[in-house]
């Protein structure tokens, strides 16, 4: 199987993400980046499918600046075969649709069976890119998967629903989005990390993808952020240390507010 995994590289989880009021974009400069933990689940799922179905190839596709390399390397160290890095200042500032167009142009260059994405990224989580990408590639989107099974050319997922799950099936090629609970991604081994250094990272620019300023980058973005602000803060509350009466204090508080 030929599996592509779309992955974003995001500020590490311990960082409080900031928006630059001037550019109205997420601050990425001087912030340590990592492979998006949500996307790592996509990589893991692709590797498990590849292990089960011999002769498979897992290709990572990432759009981002030079600092995305660190995340690409972790996916390669986990076991991805190679990577495609869409890196071009002309792509910076793309909205979700611009990003989907760039990914679709890169993925559409070769044959593939499955495209795997996270349901949404950990930093901006619009959750739009996978659905847009499937539409642009003309393949069925199987979304919110909590498990994936491939049998011949048929792929079947359990899809999270409001009250449980649905079993959903389609023929490949198809796109799948994976939920956070689907797996626990492996840690790269030392061998994997060393091996990753020799793996190919193919760089593509907007021109390579045949995309112009009407489609990608800030000029191509349909979505425009007008203002960046902070929400009104909640009035500060009371914090007490439990000295053995904590439960009673809560009961008193509820009684005062007539909540009991």
Partner 1 sequence: MAEQIWVNAEVVEGKLTRATLEMVGKAAELGDAEAVLLGPAPPDAVETLAAHGATKVYRSDDPVYREFLSLPAVQVLAALIAEHRPAVMLFASSYAGRDIAAALSAKLDCGALTDVGDLALKDDGALEATIPALGGSYQNTSTLSGEATKLVLVRPKAFDIKANPKTATVVDVPAPGDAALRKIRVTERVTTPREGPQLEDSRVIVSGGRGLKAPEHFAMLQELATLLGGAVGATRAAVDAAWVPYALQIGQTGKTVKPDLYVACGISGAIQHLAGMKGSKTIIAINTDADAPIFQVADLGVVGDVFKVVPQLIQELAKRKGA
Residue from 173, 157, 176, 154 nearest 165 by CA: 157
Closer to partner 1 by Cβ: residue 200 or 212: 212
Tokens 């793996």 belong to 199
**Smallest distance from the beta carbon of 193 to partner 1, in angstroms?**
26
Closer to partner 1 by Cβ: residue 26 or 57: 26
In whole angstroms, what is the distance from residue 51 CA to residue 110 CA? 22
56 and 172 in contact (C-beta within 8 Å)? no
In whole angstroms, what is the distance from residue 135 CA to residue 100 CA? 9
68 and 91 in contact (C-beta within 8 Å)? no
In whole angstroms, what is the distance from residue 184 CA to residue 44 CA? 8
In DSSP terms, 154 is beta-bridged to: 151, 171
Closer to partner 1 by Cβ: residue 207 or 240: 240
**Smallest distance from the beta carbon of 56 to partner 1, in angstroms?**
23
**Smallest distance from the beta carbon of 220 to partner 1, in angstroms?**
10
Closer to partner 1 by Cβ: residue 207 or 250: 250
Rg (CA), the chain: 21
In whole angstroms, what is the distance from residue 2 CA to residue 83 CA? 13
**Smallest distance from the beta carbon of 44 to partner 1, in angstroms?**
14
Strands 154-160, 141-151: pairing is antiparallel
In whole angstroms, what is the distance from residue 180 CA to residue 191 CA? 27
Closer to partner 1 by Cβ: residue 43 or 172: 172
Closer to partner 1 by Cβ: residue 62 or 121: 121
CB proximity list for 209: less than 8 A, separation 6 or greater: 86, 102, 105, 106
Closer to partner 1 by Cβ: residue 4 or 104: 104
**Smallest distance from the beta carbon of 231 to partner 1, in angstroms?**
4
**Smallest distance from the beta carbon of 145 to partner 1, in angstroms?**
11
In whole angstroms, what is the distance from residue 21 CA to residue 38 CA? 27
**Smallest distance from the beta carbon of 123 to partner 1, in angstroms?**
8
């Amino acid at each position: 199987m030929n599996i592509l995994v779309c992955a974003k590289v995001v500020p590490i989880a311990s960082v409080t993400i900031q928006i630059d009021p001037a550019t109205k974009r997420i601050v990425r400069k001087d912030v340590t980046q990592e492979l998006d933990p949500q996307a790592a689940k996509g990589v893991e799922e692709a590797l498990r499918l590849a292990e089960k179905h011999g002769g498979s190839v897992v290709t990572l596709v990432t759009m981002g600046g030079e600092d995305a390399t660190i995340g690409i390397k972790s996916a390669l160290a986990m076991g991805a075969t190679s990577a495609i890095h869409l890196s071009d200042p002309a792509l910076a500032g793309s909205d979700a649709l611009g990003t989907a167009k760039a990914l679709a142009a890169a993925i559409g260059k070769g044959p593939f069976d499955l495209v795997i994405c996270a349901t949404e990224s950990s930093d901006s989580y619009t959750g739009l890119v996978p659905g847009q990408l499937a539409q642009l590639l003309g393949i069925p989107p199987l979304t919110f998967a909590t498990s994936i099974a491939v049998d011949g050319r048929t792929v079947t997922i359990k899809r999270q629903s409001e009250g449980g799950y649905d079993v959903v099936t389609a023929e490949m090629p198809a796109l799948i989005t994976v939920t956070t609970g689907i797996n626990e991604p492996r840690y790269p081994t030392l061998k994997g990390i060393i091996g990753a250094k020799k793996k190919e990272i193919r760089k593509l620019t907007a021109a390579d993808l045949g995309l112009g300023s009407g489609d990608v980058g800030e000029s191509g973005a349909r979505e425009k952020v007008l203002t960046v602000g902070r929400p009104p803060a909640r009035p500060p509350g009371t914090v007490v240390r439990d000295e053995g009466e904590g439960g009673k204090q809560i009961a008193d508080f509820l009684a005062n507010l007539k909540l009991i």
